[in-house]
């Protein structure tokens, strides 16, 4: 057995036993989160300040409930960070989140984490160990095991407030879905079609790729080693890894499913009590290769009967040429102002906007993404049902205010790790089925893949680089 294989197997065993270990870092176990008083603002440290990270910071600050007390980015001073720096010119700046916590621990109540998917995990674990409340972008992490450890940490540090950034969970769709389930309007759901057919960053790339892109000079402002976070496998720098391009690669991102799934199936997953699937099958992967995501994918997630609810399949469609079947009476797929444009900034017209079609034994529902509400189709059925629909409450706070109010003890977060974790793990399983272009059989109780040894090892992923192992112990 070669050295790398041995270290991988040792790490997997250690990771699986992590719940029995209590050693995040000396001194961290006694940390207690501090609740801000009703008239105080939450002191917020922001990790990842450009692109989406910068948008998160501005949204949190716009609530009037937060003081921005620290900024951190591995490429501090790069063009995409300047807007945030200019808005908060006197706030202390750091390149390494570990130094930020070392120097400003007592001045921080909470953190926002707007970094690439593969970097969410160690920052979140460090913050929680210090008793800091955490707002982290979706999906929670890149590997199934990292999400599992984050949920275990949240259970351990009970007073730490957690929120995953699927902002539709605080908008109209969340409250409507909840009300319609409670009123029996949404019941006996047997199938859901989820679709994201907009252009993706990698759609112009060559799927016949034979290797990762060639090395380029590292920008002077960028700490390339630190950019890799806990990832031991170092890649040569290339511009197609940074500024959102990391979404394209299996090593770093989660593709269209991880990017948009949390905005499309989140409410169905929560309020239909789906949990984890027993089977995931990638039935289509156009342009499949071992490096980046397919040009189009179809993935079927199969969920068992739950309480009095029937078994349910979710079928995911992405790709410009991979539109799902549209039921009769669907109507027009008009542009929904509640759905932000893709992160590519692409404004090309699409044949079908991101969303979902929900099939129950009696009714069919058409829905969009993010905060978009559902409608009953066809229109004639909607008119017939109109008088029987319950009143839907208005959201008391947007997703960012919800988090900060929870830090102050005034609300509970709507997407805490106990809810967002299993949803994120669904995406982790889906990505594995894409990557291996296969069907995975999953034991929901033991949380292991039973029919594919390689896939089961990938639930954990490769061992971290030296000096980062402590984050994988709870």
Whole-structure pTM value:
0.91
Chain mean pLDDT for the chain: 91
The Cα diameter of the chain in Å comes to: 68
Which of 421, 468, 454 minimizes the C-alpha distance to 119? Answer: 468
Region 457-466: what's the mean pLDDT?
Answer: 92
Region 297-323: what's the mean pLDDT?
Answer: 97
Per-residue model confidence (pLDDT) at position 46: 98
Per-residue model confidence (pLDDT) at position 346: 53
The sign of the CA dihedral 298, 304, 306, 312 is positive
Per-residue model confidence (pLDDT) at position 352: 87
Q: List, in order of start, the domains of the chain with CATH numbers.
A: 14-169+400-420 (3.40.50.720), 172-391 (3.30.360)
Per-residue model confidence (pLDDT) at position 19: 38
Per-residue model confidence (pLDDT) at position 343: 63
Which residue reads 């109109």 in tokens?
386
Region 98-110: what's the mean pLDDT?
Answer: 98
Among 25-39, 66-80, 373-387, 418-432, which stretch is predicted with the lowest mean pLDDT? Answer: 25-39
Q: What is the 3-state secondary structure (H, E, C) of 381-427?
A: HHHHHHHHCCCCCCCCCCHHHHHHHHHCCCCCCCCCHHHHHHHHHHH
More confident residue, 14 or 33: 33
Among 11-20, 203-212, 357-366, which stretch is predicted with the lowest mean pLDDT? Answer: 11-20
Per-residue model confidence (pLDDT) at position 233: 85
Model pLDDT for residues 184-205, shown as the tens digit of each residue: 999 999 999 999 999 999 999 9
Residue 52 has pLDDT above 90, yes or no: yes
Do 441 and 451 touch, CB atoms closer than 8 A? yes
Which of 207, 24, 52 minimizes the C-alpha distance to 121? Answer: 24
Per-residue model confidence (pLDDT) at position 9: 55
């Amino acid at each position: 057995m070669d050295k790398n294989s041995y270290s991988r197997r040792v790490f997997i065993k250690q990771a699986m036993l992590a719940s029995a270990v209590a050693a995040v870092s000396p001194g961290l176990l006694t940390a207690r989160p501090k609740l801000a008083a009703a008239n105080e603002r939450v002191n917020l440290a922001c990790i990842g300040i450009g692109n989406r990270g910068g948008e998160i910071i501005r949204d949190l600050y716009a609530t009037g409930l937060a003081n921005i007390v620290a900024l951190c980015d591995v490429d501090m001073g790069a063009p995409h960070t300047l807007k945030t720096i200019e808005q908060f010119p006197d706030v202390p700046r750091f390149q390494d989140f570990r130094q930020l916590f070392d120097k400003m621990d007592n001045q921080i109540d909470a953190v926002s984490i707007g970094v690439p998917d593969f970097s969410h995990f160690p920052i979140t674990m460090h913050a929680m160990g210090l008793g800091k409340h955490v707002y982290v972008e979706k999906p929670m992490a890149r590997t199934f095991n990292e999400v599992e450890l984050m949920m275990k940490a949240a259970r351990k540090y009970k007073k730490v407030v957690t929120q995953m950034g699927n902002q539709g969970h605080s908008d109209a769709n969340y409250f409507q879905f909840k009300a319609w389930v409670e009123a029996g309007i949404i019941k006996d759901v047997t199938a859901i079609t989820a679709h994201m057919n907009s252009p993706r960053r990698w759609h112009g790339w060559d799927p016949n790729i034979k290797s990762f892109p060639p090395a380029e000079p590292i920008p002077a402002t960028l700490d390339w080693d630190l950019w890799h976070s806990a990832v031991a496998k170092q890649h040569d720098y290339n511009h197609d890894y940074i500024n959102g391009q990391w979404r394209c690669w299996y090593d770093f991102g989660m593709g269209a499913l991880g990017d948009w799934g949390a905005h499309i199936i989140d409410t169905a997953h929560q309020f239909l009590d789906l949990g984890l699937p027993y089977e995931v099958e990638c039935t289509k992967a156009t342009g499949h290769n071992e490096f980046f995501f397919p040009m189009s994918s179809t993935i079927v997630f199969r969920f068992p009967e739950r309480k009095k609810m029937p078994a349910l399949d979710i079928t995911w469609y992405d790709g410009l040429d991979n539109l799902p079947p549209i039921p009769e009476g669907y109507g027009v797929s008009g542009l929904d102002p509640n759905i932000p444009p893709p992160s590519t900034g692409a404004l090309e017209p699409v044949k079908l906007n991101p969303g979902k079609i929900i099939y129950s034994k009696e009714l069919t529902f058409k829905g969009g993404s993010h905060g978009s509400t559902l409608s009953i189709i066809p229109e004639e059925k909607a008119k017939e049902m109109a008088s029987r629909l319950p009143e839907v409450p208005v959201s008391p706070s947007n997703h960012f205010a919800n988090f900060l109010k929870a830090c102050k003890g005034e609300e509970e977060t709507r997407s805490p790790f106990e809810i967002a974790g299993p949803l994120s793990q669904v995406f982790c399983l889906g990505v594995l089925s894409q990557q291996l272009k296969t069907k995975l059989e999953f034991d929901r109780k033991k949380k292991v893949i039973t029919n594919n040894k390689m896939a089961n090892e990938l639930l954990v992923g490769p061992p971290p680089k030296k000096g980062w192992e402590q984050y994988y112990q709870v």
